[in-house]
Structure 1
Amino acid sequence: MHPLSQFKYCPKCGSNDFKENDFKSNKCGNCGFTYYFNISSSTIALILNEEKELLVATRAHEPVKGTLDLPGGFVDMDENGEEAVIREVKEETGLEVDSLNYLFSIPNRYMYSNFEIQTLDLVYLCNVKDTSNLRADDDVSNLQFIKIADLQPDLFGLASVKEVVKTIQKMEI
């Protein structure tokens, strides 16, 4: 189902004459407002310890509760990707990012409350100096470091994160 099919009323005037305009927009027949359904931005943090093991989270909530994940999350309004990944790492792990490098992006479809959110996930290599404050928090139930070669992509619940894991297993990071 296309995400726009769930929008029944114009967000500007409230009219129910809110119909498909083209693949990525609906247009109101009453006030003329055109709403473009654009993707949301999200971040993924790759955090390595001294042994070059990757920090892996376990999801505490739906979607895909109980599956493996990588720290990260949605970019808030008035926030850039770098600020978002730093904030998400702090919220989910208690760790302070000292420096980071953007690596690549990957599209994703994220089901939340039976609504598909299309995202563009921004992947960052994040350096932290001190892991002594490591704690699972926010929407994470567990954290562990795993050797990259030992990661099993199928244990990760989100399609984009599975692809990120496959990609980094081929890279030298």
Structure 2
Amino acid sequence: MSHLLELFRFCPVCGSEKFVENNKQSKRCNSCGFINYINPKAAVVAIITNSEGDILVCKRAKDPARGTLDMPGGFTDLNETAEEAVIREVKEETGLTVTATRYLFSLPNTYKYSGLNVPTMDLFFECDVQEISNLTARDDVAEAWFMPRKEIDPEHFGLASIRKGISRIVGK
């Protein structure tokens, strides 16, 4: 396997080409001593159910895994809590307003972005929403609907952590 930072050839501090592998998650500059660690980026996942217990699923509109099933969610922004991120992501992707969040669990993942395998830590939240009648697929979601738990097949979800997470949720 190649190094996570293989695409980074020059030190971001001094510009030296002496930017070499330090360990499996960092590179070190032999000119200025800077060490760049690649740590997981925080991401959030929303588990939303309707009054029948059906779970909100989405169809991905963009790569990676375009056309596969997903849950609402995405990356946290700078200076944003995970709770704020899940509320924002649900609004951006579905138009729904989250009124309460409850942390469930986390799973590590790798997300392919701009040719780079970005390690993530996906934080799963159970979310209550104000009303589901204004559900609309938006942003990077092609479709969004509530699916009965018994019909959910984790293998139809395109991202590894979402497959593992939905398996935990529906018990498959």
Give the TM interval when normalised to the shorter protein.
over 0.9
Extract unaligned runs of 5+ from structure 2.
none
**Backbone CA RMSD of aligned residues:** 1.1
Contact conserved, 2:28 with 2:35, CA < 8 A, in 1? yes
TM-score (norm: length of structure 1): 0.96
Once the two structures are superposed, residues 38-73 of structure 1 have per-residue CA deviations (whole angstroms, 9 ceiling, x without a partner) of 110000000000110000000001111010000000
CA distance in 1: counterparts of 2:63 and 2:161, whole angstroms: 16
Equivalent-residue separation in structure 1 for 2:130 and 2:87 (angstroms): 14
Correspondence 1:1-173 to 2 at 5 A: 1-170=2-171
The answer for unaligned runs of 5 or more in structure 1 is none
Q: Percent identity?
A: 47
8 Å CA contact 2:105, 2:124 repeated in 1: yes
2:4 touches 2:25 (CA, 8 Å); kept in 1?
no
Quote how far apart the aligned CAs of 1:170 are.
2.2
Q: Report the AA paired with residue 37 of structure 2.
A: Y
Q: What SS is found at the alignment partner of 2:21? A: strand
CA distance in 2, matches of 1:62, 1:151: 21
Offset at residue 105 of structure 1 (A)? 0.2
TM-score (norm 2): 0.96
Matches of 1:130 and 1:144, distance apart in 2: 14
Aligned residues: 171
Q: Measure the CA separation in 1 of the matches of 2:55 and 2:3.
A: 35
Offset of residue 76 of structure 1: 0.7
Shift of 1:113: 2.2
Runs of 4+ in 1 over 2 A off after TM superposition: none
1:68-120 CA distance string (max 9 Å, x none): 00000001111110000000000000000010100000000111222101100
